[in-house]
């Protein structure tokens, strides 16, 4: 019996010593103790990867929707939310994560709360993560926000509004354009801006919604397929047709005719004409003959439709005419030299305003023909001083030459850029 007890005691002692010295046993024990930590770490790593991927996708969707909204309100302030939601519905955050979006124009708080061009998008997604869900009482909220707004860029002084013309801005013949500002075309055509023949075009930048074809001076930057830009003079009030007007103003060759501000049923000028400062409303066509000399400062000539003629009259300046005209610096028509009513012709028919001047002509002010074409033709060597021109379509051909020198900027003509700011 004693021997049996001794043997059992020896066996128990040997087994304990073996287990204590056995590395395999130690590893098994440690593995059993640490296994919950390994499982927890793996679960947290998996949740972190999933959360990061979802967070990245939600942020990308917010950025894209904010940019879409800010781009759209340049053209139509009331369509920004529609564009942002359309962009969001195409995103993975909406399709696969069923996230929700909140749109704000002029955000309710923050540094851009008073910016009417700012768009803030907030996207949220409530979700359950595979591992963390065991320990959390409520779903995890994955959210992102983005704010985009407009910033002024390069200044444009040649601007075509037609959305589809091919081309909307055309340079041909031996025409020359030498300006220290930009050229903008809102046409989405493949040849939105085109230069052909022996034309020479030098500008800071050529920007078009569609394509740009032709050859340009080396310093000119080309930016095809850019966002459309709003009419820079869209806020200028469209004049009401006057109820009563003076008869057509006529000036014969060799005569000197002074004119005072008011309304005229037309103008047919062939002699020397002096325009007193003020606003001239013309309800019929304005013709300046080949040998006319027309001078005036602080004036605006408004080509306006009348109750008898729903189409705005046109401007024609024949070759050899000399113009010395400058626009006012204040008032509703500040910096506007020629302003044509926005009335669109029936059937969307296009009418053309023609300038064929000479090297002695100088026009200081903006030329605005939003619903009709503007054509520089022949030997027009017009010094436009500090000018901007906006028309439905713009064409330069023949030996026409247009140059300008405008040290002061007009923010209305800045080519807007959309940027994410937060």
Q: What confidence tens digit (pLDDT) does each residue in 275-323 have?
A: 999 999 998 899 999 889 999 999 999 998 776 566 778 999 988 888 8
Q: What is the pLDDT of residue 302?
A: 93
Q: Are residues 75 and 87 in the same domain?
A: yes
Read off φ and ψ for residue 372, nearest 5 degrees.
Answer: -135, 170
Question: Which is more confidently placed, 150 or 10?
Answer: 150
Classified as helix, coil or strand, 134 is helix
Q: What confidence tens digit (pLDDT) does each residue in 183-219 have?
A: 999 999 999 999 988 888 888 889 999 999 998 887 8
**Last residue within a domain, chosen from 152, 167, 202:** 152
Q: Tokens 């078009």 sit at which residue?
A: 208
Question: Which is more confidently placed, 225 or 408?
Answer: 225
User: Per the domain annotation, does 11 fall within a domain?
Assistant: no
Burial string for 244-267 (b: 16+ CB within 10 Å, else e) reads ebeeebbbeeeeebebeeebbbbb
Mean pLDDT of 63-68: 91
User: Per the domain annotation, does 7 fall within a domain?
Assistant: no
Structural domains counted in the chain: 2
**Last residue within a domain, chosen from 125, 152, 179:** 152
User: Per the domain annotation, does 22 fall within a domain?
Assistant: no
- Of 52-56, 171-175, 345-349, which range is least confident? 345-349
Q: Are residues 168 and 268 in the same domain?
A: yes
Q: Are residues 138 and 199 in the same domain?
A: no
Q: What is the pLDDT of residue 25?
A: 60
Residues 6+ apart with CB under 8 A from 63: 146, 148, 420
Please, how many CA atoms are within 13 Å of residue 55, restricted to the half-sphere of its CB?
10
Q: What is the pLDDT of residue 17?
A: 56
For residues 58 and 303, what is the distance between their CA atoms, to the nearest angstrom?
Answer: 52
pLDDT band at 11 (very low <50, low <70, confident <90, very high): low
Q: Are residues 62 and 145 in the same domain?
A: yes
Q: What is the pLDDT of residue 276?
A: 95
Residue 71 has pLDDT above 80, yes or no: yes
Q: Are residues 357 and 219 in the same domain?
A: yes
Q: What confidence tens digit (pLDDT) does each residue in 35-47 have?
A: 766 666 666 677 7
Closest to 211 (Cα-Cα) out of 197, 194, 195, 198: 194
Q: What confidence tens digit (pLDDT) does each residue in 346-365 have?
A: 555 678 999 886 667 888 88
Across the chain, mean pLDDT equals 82
Q: Tokens 């340009």 sit at which residue?
A: 216
Q: Are residues 191 and 251 in the same domain?
A: yes
Q: Is residue 85 within 8 Å of 125, Cβ to Cβ?
A: no
Phi/psi zone of residue 413: left (φ > 0), alpha (ψ -120 to 50 degrees), beta? alpha
Query: Which tokens go with 334?
Result: 């500040």
Read off φ and ψ for residue 276, nearest 5 degrees.
Answer: -70, 155
- Of 157-166, 220-229, 250-259, which range is least confident? 250-259
* DSSP states of 237-282: PPPPPPSS-BPPEEE-TT-EEEE-SEEES-EEE-SEEEEPSEEEEE
User: Per the domain annotation, does 99 fall within a domain?
Assistant: yes
pLDDT band at 133 (very low <50, low <70, confident <90, very high): low
Q: Are residues 51 and 80 in the same domain?
A: yes
User: Per the domain annotation, does 8 fall within a domain?
Assistant: no
Q: Is 344 exposed, middle or buried, given 0-12, 13-18 or 19+ CB atoms closer than 10 A? A: middle
User: Per the domain annotation, does 189 fall within a domain?
Assistant: yes
Q: What is the pLDDT of residue 117?
A: 83
Classified as helix, coil or strand, 60 is helix
Q: What is the pLDDT of residue 96?
A: 82
Q: What is the pLDDT of residue 413?
A: 60
Q: Please, what is the Cα angle at 311 between 305 and 312, to 5 degrees?
A: 50
For residues 183 and 154, what is the distance between their CA atoms, to the nearest angstrom?
Answer: 10
Prediction pTM value = 0.72
Residue 416 has pLDDT above 70, yes or no: no
Classified as helix, coil or strand, 400 is coil
Q: Are residues 270 and 411 in the same domain?
A: yes
User: Per the domain annotation, does 9 fall within a domain?
Assistant: no
Query: Which tokens go with 109?
Result: 């708080």
SS3 sequence of 278-302: EEEEECCCEEECCCCEEEECCEEEE
* DSSP states of 151-219: EEEEEEEEEE--SS-SSSEEE-TT-EEE-SSEEEE---STTSEEE-TT-EEE-SEEEESS-EES---TT
Phi/psi zone of residue 193: left (φ > 0), alpha (ψ -120 to 50 degrees), beta? beta
Q: What is the pLDDT of residue 400?
A: 78
Q: Are residues 106 and 163 in the same domain?
A: no
pLDDT band at 421 (very low <50, low <70, confident <90, very high): confident
**Last residue within a domain, chosen from 152, 172, 187:** 152
Run of H or E residues at 58 = helix 23-72
User: Domain of 347?
Assistant: 154-416
Q: Are residues 270 and 132 in the same domain?
A: no
Q: What is the pLDDT of residue 208?
A: 92
For residues 268 and 279, what is the distance between their CA atoms, to the nearest angstrom?
Answer: 17
User: Per the domain annotation, does 208 fall within a domain?
Assistant: yes
Query: Which tokens go with 350?
Result: 């296009």
Mean pLDDT of 93-109: 88
Q: Are residues 189 and 270 in the same domain?
A: yes
Residue 19 has pLDDT above 60, yes or no: no
């Amino acid at each position: 019996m004693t021997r049996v007890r001794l043997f059992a005691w020896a066996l128990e002692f040997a087994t304990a010593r073996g287990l204590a010295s056995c590395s395999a046993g130690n590893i098994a024990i440690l593995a059993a103790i640490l296994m919950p930590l390994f499982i927890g770490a793996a679960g947290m790593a998996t949740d972190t990867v999933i959360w990061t991927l979802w967070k990245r996708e939600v942020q990308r969707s917010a950025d894209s929707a904010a940019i879409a909204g800010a781009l759209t309100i340049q053209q139509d302030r009331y369509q920004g939310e529609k564009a942002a939601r359309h962009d969001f519905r195409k995103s993975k955050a909406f399709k696969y994560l069923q996230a929700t979006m909140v749109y704000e124009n002029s955000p309710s708080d923050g540094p851009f709360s008073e910016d009417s061009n700012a768009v803030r998008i907030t996207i949220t997604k409530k979700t359950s993560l595979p591992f963390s869900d065991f320990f959390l009482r409520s779903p995890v909220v994955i959210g992102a926000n983005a704010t985009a707004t407009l910033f002024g860029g390069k200044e444009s002084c040649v601007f075509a509004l037609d959305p589809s013309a091919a081309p909307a801005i055309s340079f041909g013949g031996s025409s020359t354009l030498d300006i220290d500002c930009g050229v903008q075309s809102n046409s989405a055509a493949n040849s939105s801006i085109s230069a052909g023949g022996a034309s020479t075009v030098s500008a800071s930048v050529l920007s078009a919604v569609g394509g740009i074809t032709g050859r340009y001076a080396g310093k000119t930057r080309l930016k095809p397929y850019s966002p459309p830009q709003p009419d820079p003079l869209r806020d200028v009030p469209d004049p009401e047709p006057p109820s009563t007007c003076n008869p057509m103003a006529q000036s014969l060759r060799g005569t000197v005719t002074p004119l005072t501000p008011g309304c005229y049923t037309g103008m047919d000028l062939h002699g020397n004409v002096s325009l007193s400062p003020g606003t001239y409303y013309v309800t019929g066509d304005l013709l300046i003959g080949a040998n006319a000399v027309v001078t005036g400062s602080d004036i605006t000539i408004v080509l306006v439709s009348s109750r008898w003629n729903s189409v705005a009259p046109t401007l024609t300046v024949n070759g050899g005419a000399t113009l010395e005209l400058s626009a006012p610096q204040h008032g509703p028509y500040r910096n506007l030299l020629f302003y044509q009513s926005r009335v669109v012709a029936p059937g969307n028919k296009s009418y053309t305003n023609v300038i064929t001047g000479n090297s002695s002509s100088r026009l200081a002010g903006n030329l605005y023909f939003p619903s009709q074409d503007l054509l520089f033709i022949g030997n027009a060597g017009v010094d436009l001083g500090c000018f901007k021109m906006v028309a439905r379509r713009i064409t330069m051909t023949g030996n026409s030459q247009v140059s300008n020198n405008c040290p002061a900027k007009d923010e209305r003509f800045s080519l807007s850029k959309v940027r994410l700011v937060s």
